[in-house]
Amino acid sequence: MAGILNIQMNPVSGDKEKNLETAKYYIEKYSDKKPDLVVLPEFFSTGVDHNSMVNRPEDKNGGIVVKYLSDIAQKFNTNIVCGSVIEKENDKLYNTAFVVDRTGKIVGKYRKIHLFQFFGGNENSYTTPGNLPPLVVELDFAKVGVSVCFDIKYPMLYKTLIKMGAEIIVSPSAWIKLKSLSTKEKENAALCWKSLNITRAAENLVYFVTSNLAGNINSSLYSVGNSMITNPLGVVESMQGNEENADFREIDLKLVRELKQTVPVAFID
If one counts every other C-beta atom within 10 angstroms of the C-beta of residue 267, the result is 8
Q: Which residues of 24-34 are buried (b: 16+ CB within 10 A; e: fewer)?
A: bebbeebeeee
Residue 68 CB: number of other CB atoms within 10 A? Answer: 19
List 149, 167, 177, 260, catalytic entry: 149
CB 226 within 8 A of CB 198: no
The Cα diameter of the chain in Å comes to 50
Q: Is 112 labeled as catalytic in the residue annotation?
A: yes
Q: Answer for the pair 178, 166: CB distance below 8 angstroms, yes or no.
A: no
CA distance linking residue 95 with residue 113, whole number of Å: 9
Specify whether 149 is catalytic.
yes
| Coil, helix or strand at residue 176 | strand
Comparing CA positions, the residue from 70, 67, 58 lying closest to residue 94 is 58
42, 87, 123, 167: which is the annotated catalytic residue?
42
Active-site residue (options: 112, 143, 177, 260)? 112
Q: Mind telling me the catalytic residues?
A: 42, 112, 149
